[in-house]
Amino acid sequence: MDNRLNKVITVISLGLFMYALTQKCYCTTASCADSFAVLLSGTLGWVFGGATLTWFANPLLILSWFTINKKPKLSLICSLLAVLISLSFLLFKRIISDEAGNYKEIISYRLGYWLWVASSSIMFIGNALSFLFTQHSEKMK
């Protein structure tokens, strides 16, 4: 049961993540950002701090996908952190907009952002359910 649930949850989460990459994720006073470009630039952008630090939700989510069957507690923790970090993007009012270090005000959040949050959230909810099912079945033995 757990492996099937884990597989379904991971596929849904991964699907949402992949779909998010095809969408705009947020808009500034200058333009709207493509999710895929933000993912790629985030590998270096985090050095600027601020809102770019939320990029770290991505490796945590990926780690959660890969550890769900072998290390479910680690997967649960990683997915929870991914949700919290991705939601923390809402706390930032501006984001770095270019290599020169200029910032632009964030004026809206687009579908790509919400799909990204949903991907982490589904993974966390799935991990939590799987963990609860496992705990319950161990008590029944």
Mean per-residue pLDDT of the chain: 93
| pLDDT recorded at residue 1 | 47
pLDDT in tens, 97-107: 887 888 999 99
Question: How would you classify the pairing of strands 94-96 and 103-109?
Answer: antiparallel
Cβ atoms of 123 and 64 closer than 8 Å: yes
Domain ranges of the chain: 2-131
Q: Which residue has the tokens 């479910």?
A: 72
